[in-house]
A and B are shown apart, each in its own frame.
Chain A
């Protein structure tokens, strides 16, 4: 690989990790269109590289959230039984799918992500009676909110809905190489009654094993390019670490709105690529 291209991929991945961390998204949603539209890599290679990058960022972030007690490990593992199945199914579909169709699907995902980033609904958790299915695994959780030092406790409800959606989020991950947090986090918060911070931390915890299930399929099918994947994983990881350290210095709302517009533009480019109008930018 040409050294200029390699440096370009590394720098874009650093930027993707940094922006992803500041925006609360995985780097994959940024790095895939760049690899596909700017560098001209096949969608499957871009998705394979992104999946490994997603494992890197989620592992780094999860280690912090687990230490802080924010991730609900029990809930995460129960939902992982569905996300891993979905991820395997999604990856198997992706390796046999025309890359133009994948580009269209990714364009639609970007449109949804840009909408989600601006809107970000949040439901406040209120104490409720424990649901039987959730109680079966004792999924209740709690953490100390660093903002005011208060202890937040919550019970989990509607586990069946959570498992169903996790299957879909896993399929999205395996199919399009993203973490799926944009689906899981609102579902955990709005349907399952998990506070937003715990939902985001638990989603992050789950992403590693979900992406792994898909990545193994891509690896087996020879769709993991070691150099591209290494550049993306190392770049996204260090970008995300930097982003988490400077997040408090950045006006998040303004950045989210600006980037939502950029994502709509990228979505249009991906849809054009899917329609065969565009090859590389």
Chain B
């Protein structure tokens, strides 16, 4: 596998994540502006987001957009990990795993 192939995959992940997250956040903002209810500007638990969206809560839509955005660079690292494993570049695969472990620790610390 060539170096440029990784660039192509990474670019695809970044563009897709960017378009998806900014679109969802923009929809959430418009929804919030036209919504008659008074919703507190406080993040919801990720587990509550689908249920709150079905109830028409615009904060849940905004939270979903934020989570999509946060997930974009993470997906980029996972993409690189798969690429390096397939290319048998174990040193760079190890680097990718270290980054994912640090993010995992951050998630645990944030959740706790």
**A residues in contact (CB < 8 Å) with B:** 1, 3, 6, 10, 52, 55-56, 58-60, 62-63, 66-67, 69, 73-74, 77-78, 80-81, 84-85, 87-88, 91-92, 136-137, 208-209, 211-222, 224-231, 233-234, 237
B109 adjacent to A92 (CB under 8 Å):
yes
A213 adjacent to B91 (CB under 8 Å):
no
Query: Could you say which of B3, B6, B62, B107 contacts A216, with CB atoms under 8 Å apart?
Result: B107
Complex interface: chain A residues within 8 A of B14 (CB) = 59-60, 62-63, 66, 208
Considering only residues 1-44 of chain B, those with a C-beta below 8 Å from chain A are 3-4, 6-7, 10-11, 14-15, 17-18, 21-22, 25-26, 28-29, 32-33, 41-44
Which secondary structure dominates chain A's binding surface? Answer: helix
Closest Cβ neighbor of B26 among chain A residues: A234
**Bound-state Cα–Cα, A236 to B92, Å:** 32
Q: Count chain B CB atoms within 10 A of each CB in A63, A220, A234 and give the residue with the most.
A: A63
CB distance from A100 to the nearest CB of B (A): 23
B103 adjacent to A216 (CB under 8 Å):
yes
Complex interface: chain B residues within 8 A of A219 (CB) = 43, 66, 70, 110
Instruction: Give the tally of cross-chain contacts (CB within 8 A).
Output: 157
Query: Could you say which of B3, B18, B109 contacts A217, with CB atoms under 8 Å apart?
Result: B109
Known A-B contacts A55-B72, A67-B7; the reply to A217 vs B43 at CB < 8 A is no
B69 adjacent to A59 (CB under 8 Å):
yes
A74 adjacent to B92 (CB under 8 Å):
yes
CB distance from A227 to the nearest CB of B (A): 5
**Bound-state Cα–Cα, A55 to B41, Å:** 21
Complex interface: chain B residues within 8 A of A59 (CB) = 14, 17-18, 69, 72-73
CB distance from B53 to the nearest CB of A (A): 12
The yes or no answer to B95 lying at the interface (CB within 8 A) is yes
**Bound-state Cα–Cα, A227 to B14, Å:** 23
The yes or no answer to B85 lying at the interface (CB within 8 A) is no
CB distance from A215 to the nearest CB of B (A): 6
B102 adjacent to A237 (CB under 8 Å):
no
A230 adjacent to B65 (CB under 8 Å):
yes
By Cβ-Cβ distance, the 10 closest A-B pairs, closest first, are A220-B110, A208-B73, A226-B62, A63-B14, A209-B73, A84-B102, A230-B62, A227-B41, A225-B41, A216-B106
Complex interface: chain A residues within 8 A of B95 (CB) = 77-78, 80-81, 137
Complex interface: chain B residues within 8 A of A66 (CB) = 7, 10-11, 14
Complex interface: chain A residues within 8 A of B29 (CB) = 6, 10, 227, 230-231, 234
A56 adjacent to B69 (CB under 8 Å):
yes
Name 22 A/B residue pairs within 8 A (Cβ), A-sorted: A55-B69, A56-B21, A58-B73, A59-B69, A66-B14, A67-B11, A73-B3, A73-B80, A77-B92, A80-B99, A81-B102, A84-B103, A84-B106, A137-B92, A211-B73, A212-B73, A216-B107, A224-B66, A226-B62, A227-B32, A233-B21, A233-B65
Query: Could you say which of A10, A52, A213, A229 contacts B102, with CB atoms under 8 Å apart?
Result: A213
Closest Cβ neighbor of A6 among chain B residues: B33
